[in-house]
Amino acid sequence: MTDHDEVLDRIHRGLLYTESEASFQNPQRRADLIFEYNSTRPGDDTARRALLERILGSVGARTVLLSPFHAGFGSNVHIGDDFFGNVNLTFVDDVEIRIGDGVMIAPGVTLTTTGHPIHPALREDFRRFSEPIVIEDRVWIGSNVVVLPGVRIGYGSVIGAGSVVSRDIPPMSVAVGVPCRVVRPITDDDLTTRVPAAVGTAGPDDQPGLRSAGPRTA
């Protein structure tokens, strides 16, 4: 096993590694292309799509990602079909972020695969750990949400604005808070109204919040 293989093994196992040890991955960063994407005209769909295909690890059909967005690498992000990402979406993608089909993300969201040790002696040379994030199909994430390393958000779930998601969220759930917790399931009763009883305004430009289970978060 080479030194690089040993570092990659530690990264993929969620163990600590340093900036210097991981520097061999820097050619995978897409900073210049991300800058170029954020500088394109909003109506230049052809150029934006071409850049997005070069930046991301994979990208599905009918993807909308508004400028600006930010990514540590870009190449570790995989997005499915019919994705909508609003402004100031940040991917801290030292390892993979996988996003399914039909996902909506409101403004100011951060998806971070990486954290740091608590003790300062262990943070020399930006020592850190990384764990992948998975967002399953048809999830809706509200404004200013932070999703932390290793989290999986299940199919169809709604994350209220301002939440910090530090643990897995099961499918078809409304979850909100710091730390984010499930407040109720999504059921067929939610088919009868445009705005469910425990969810705020609807649409990719807005964000979910609470009405019946504590203060609104939207």
CA distance linking residue 181 with residue 99, whole number of Å: 21
Counting every residue, how long is the chain? 218
**Token pair of 74, please?**
């870009």
CB 128 within 8 A of CB 45: no
CA distance linking residue 87 with residue 121, whole number of Å: 36
CB 177 within 8 A of CB 144: no
For residues 89-102, one letter each, b for 16 or more C-beta atoms within 10 angstroms of the residue's C-beta and e for the rest, the string is: bbbbbbbbbbbbbb
**Which among 12, 70, 78, 116 is annotated as catalytic?**
116
CA distance linking residue 95 with residue 132, whole number of Å: 6
- Neighbour order of strands in the sheet with 64-65: 64-65, 84-85, 104-105, 140-141, 158-159, 173-176, 181-185
- 78 as an active site residue: the answer is no
CA distance linking residue 196 with residue 185, whole number of Å: 11
**Token pair of 3, please?**
């030194």
Question: Which positions are annotated as active-site residues?
Answer: 116
